Amino acid sequence: MSQQRLAGIFTPNIVPLNDQGDIHESETRRYVDWLIERGVHGLYPNGSTGEFTRFTAEERRRIIEIIADQTRGRVPILAGAAEANTRETIKACEYYHTLGCRAVAIVSPFYYKLTPAGVYAYFKEIAVNSPIDITLYNIPLFASPIDVPTVQRLADECERVVAIKDSSGDLPHMMRMIAAVRPNRPDFAFLTGWDAALLPMLLIGCDGGTNATSGIVPEITRKLFDLAQAKRYDDALDLQYRLLKLFDAMLFSAEFPEGVRAALRLRGFQTGEGRQPQSENQQLQLEKISDQIQCLLAAEGFTGEPVCGCPVGGAVHEEEVARIVLGVVGELRRQGILGG
């Protein structure tokens, strides 16, 4: 039988590396403790932020071993279990089940673009053979999209499929999924992986998120979630804008997830250099971005300003999130769902 519905903020964590480019185990353990102490609801290793494709299968298993051992059941673990084929993915599901993980997240097949029928068949094969609950992972930027009928069919047919993590940032798509699935599967969880729309996603019924910003400012991401739960939407909206600036700087100003790695260094962790080689121009650009991120963190009181100082006012565009958030809030208020 499935356990309690997944909910809250699950942190997709960067994996610190040592000078040799190998997993920095002690720093990873320190990072786990730091995140839990700052209120994240769960951990999500081996995701996109965790650069799962840049580690070997053995390293991916070792990452989960370290995190599960350090967590010691304090928070649930949503383990990324996507391998190159169903056979290896099922083996990963079996192993992460023995480590006590709450569930696994499996990205839709990538490289080969599949039809909805192919996506369904892929997840159905895994679900039938998995001993652990499964979260579908929809990230159409990198993998075959998971459409609403496929989500509904898998939810109806597979008890082990208990959630979807959607990183499209598509609000109507999320609403259609919730409307299609919730009537028959009230236990099914909906998580957003798009930080820029975390608040509006929570407003329309999402249970939480897997948000890269929670790996850098877990204090703010957790507070936003708590404010949304308490229906203090104006305060939550203020935090959403602040998260947006950091999200844009980390995601769009550098090649993902190098901006996240740079930001985590500013919070006092020895992250090491990522596995993807960087050109000299990229390295110079990352240094500039690091100053921008440091200014954002300094504004929140998490670090000092860079030596060169910080500009007055933000340079990050907020029009898109303003349109989304205010539109959703306005519509919900017109419908009488939210108070004035």
Name the nearest CA neighbour of 79 among 107, 55, 56, 54: 107
Predicted confidence at residue 338, as pLDDT, reads 45
Predicted confidence at residue 326, as pLDDT, reads 55
Taking only Cα atoms into account, the Rg of the chain, rounded to an integer number of angstroms, comes to: 19
Report, as an integer, the average pLDDT of 279-303. Answer: 84
Chain mean pLDDT for the chain: 89
Respond yes or no: is residue 124 known to be catalytic: no
Structural tokens at position 63: 């990452």
For residue 315, is pLDDT > 60?
no
Respond yes or no: is residue 95 known to be catalytic: no
91 lies in some domain: yes
Find the range with the poorest average confidence among 102-116, 131-145, 311-325. 311-325
Work out the angle at residue 209's Cα, subtended by the Cα atoms of residues 87 and 40, and round it to the nearest 5 degrees: 100
pLDDT confidence tier of residue 248, bands split at 50, 70 and 90? confident
Give dist(CA 45, CA 308) in Å, integer. Answer: 35
For residue 265, is pLDDT > 60?
yes
Name the nearest CA neighbour of 163 among 208, 195, 199: 208
Predicted confidence at residue 312, as pLDDT, reads 67
Of residues 283 and 83, more confidence is placed in: 83
Q: How many domains does the chain have?
A: 1
Report, as an integer, the average pLDDT of 197-216. Answer: 95
Q: Which residues contact 166 (CB under 8 A, 6 or more apart)?
A: 138, 173, 174, 177, 190, 191, 192, 193, 194
Predicted confidence at residue 1, as pLDDT, reads 44
SS3 10: strand
Q: 206 with 277: CB under 8 angstroms?
A: no
Of residues 298 and 7, more confidence is placed in: 7
251 lies in some domain: yes
Predicted confidence at residue 290, as pLDDT, reads 86
Please identify which of the residues 44, 96, 122, 137 carries the catalytic annotation: 137
Per-residue model confidence as pLDDT tens digits over 77-116: 999 999 989 999 999 999 999 999 999 999 998 888 899 9
Domain of residue 105: give its range.
9-334
20 lies in some domain: yes
Structural tokens at position 288: 């500039």
User: Could you tell me the CATH number of the domain that includes residue 170?
Assistant: 3.20.20.70
110 lies in some domain: yes
303 lies in some domain: yes
Predicted confidence at residue 199, as pLDDT, reads 96
Per-residue model confidence as pLDDT tens digits over 30-78: 999 999 999 999 999 999 999 999 999 999 999 999 999 999 999 999 9
340 lies in some domain: no
Full strand arrangement of the beta sheet holding 161-166: 42-43, 8-11, 208-210, 189-192, 161-166, 133-138, 103-107, 78-80
Helices and strands (DSSP H and E) totals, the chain: 12, 8
Q: Percent of the chain beyond pLDDT 70?
A: 90
Predicted confidence at residue 331, as pLDDT, reads 52
3 lies in some domain: no
Please identify which of the residues 44, 96, 120, 165 carries the catalytic annotation: 165
For residue 322, is pLDDT > 60?
no
Residue 77 CB-density burial (10 A; 0-12 exposed, 13-18 middle, 19+ buried) = buried
4 lies in some domain: no
Predicted confidence at residue 327, as pLDDT, reads 56
